[in-house]
Amino acid sequence: MKHSALEFSRLLGLVVITSVIAGCGSGGDSSDDVPLPPSGMVRIQGDVTSSGTAVSDATVNFQTTDDSGVNKEYTTITGSNCKFTFDMPLKSVDGVDFPAGTVSKEGYEPQTLLCRGFTEEVVTCKADIRLIRLAENTSIPVGGDMVWHIGDSNYQGQANSKLQKKAPDGAVLEFEISDWAAQVAKNNITKATVVLDHKGWQTEICPNNEIALVGDVGTVSRAGGNSPDTGEWGGAQQEAVPFDFQVSKVGSLRAKVRISAGACIGTDLDDFEINRMRVYFCGNDDPGTCIPGR
């Protein structure tokens, strides 16, 4: 079943947390100590800056699954002091190694909010986020700044047991690149490279996993990626084989990223999570991938 990322954002059970605490940068408390949350809850706290300056109105969101199996989004927005804090039930993340959220704001690349994990003894996480300005050749697909679970929820094993959203968002997800036409209209743009964080993606044993660009000219597909066997997040700029696409084979008017879960054993689909998707554009004068610094 195919759904767009926007459809799923409307289907999520939304829990809005509006707590913001004082202090940031030179005026804030730089201690790693985080006040304990109420019993049965965990607390994530931090600040958001860019080049040493406080970033207000940045969205901090975290997706997980509640006791009834419904996907929930916990979100807050930083104030002028750049600080944020929110609480959520321990049960929703208990036993998940490296649960992740996302911090985003228009004009900046989204960044991953990463915690080491929560238990009954570890109920706080300090996450100081440093945003970087969005480069002119970089696009953020619609919905790409959220954690998504792709698959059929029939999964096991060390890597997949670490997924934080137990309920899948679908076996195939699509993310529109809303400024595709404007990007490829620039002089000498011939290539697009898709970059994303991922957990539990096991294309080595599930060879039908795919990532594709779907455009007005055609669809170009690549084999999916492979996450660390430990169940941690991998990918991004460190991807061993970047997901590169030729613009001429995709089109010049519109495009979207499509990610599909493939069968592993029989009809059982791979289950994995993705986060922090970006698309970099470049030309023939740029050797290899479009990823900055590579």
Q: Which segment of 66-70, 124-128, 196-200 scores lowest on mean pLDDT?
A: 66-70
Can you tell me which residue has the tokens 């294309």?
Answer: 203
Query: What is the CATH architecture of 138-282?
Result: Sandwich (2.60)
Q: Is 2 or 235 the better-scoring residue by pLDDT? A: 235
273-289 residue pLDDT tens: 999 999 999 997 776 77
Yes or no: say if 164 and 99 are a contact pair by the CB < 8 Å rule: yes
pLDDT of residue 226: 93
Separation in Å, CA 222 to CA 25, 176, 260, 272: 43, 17, 11, 17
Numbered ranges of CATH 2.60.120 in the chain = 138-282
Distance of alpha carbon 190 from alpha carbon 52, whole angstroms? 35
102-142 residue pLDDT tens: 999 999 999 999 998 899 999 999 989 999 999 999 999 99
- As a whole number, mean pLDDT of residues 36-53 equals 94
**SS (HEC) of 80-97:** CCCEEEEEEEHHHCECCC
pLDDT of residue 240: 73
Distance of alpha carbon 218 from alpha carbon 236, whole angstroms? 25
Query: What is the CATH architecture of 12-130?
Result: Sandwich (2.60)
pLDDT at 21 over 50: no
Strands 210-215 and 255-260: antiparallel
Q: Which helix (H) or strand (E) holds 247?
A: helix 247-250
143-152 residue pLDDT tens: 999 999 999 8
pLDDT of residue 160: 59
Numbered ranges of CATH 2.60.40.10 in the chain = 12-130
Yes or no: say if 199 and 234 are a contact pair by the CB < 8 Å rule: yes
Q: Three-state DSSP class for 27?
A: helix
Strands 124-126 and 41-50: parallel
Question: How is residue 20 written in tokens?
Answer: 């913001």
Cα-Cα-Cα-Cα torsion 160, 161, 164, 169, nearest 10 degrees, comes to 50
Total residues belonging to the chain: 294
Distance of alpha carbon 251 from alpha carbon 184, whole angstroms? 9
| DSSP β-bridge partners for residue 46 | 84
Q: Which helix (H) or strand (E) holds 249?
A: helix 247-250
Alpha helix (H) residue ranges in 98-201: 180-184
28-41 residue pLDDT tens: 333 467 899 999 99
155-195 residue pLDDT tens: 666 555 578 888 899 999 999 999 999 999 998 899 999 99
209-263 residue pLDDT tens: 999 999 999 999 999 999 988 888 998 777 777 899 999 999 999 999 999 999 9
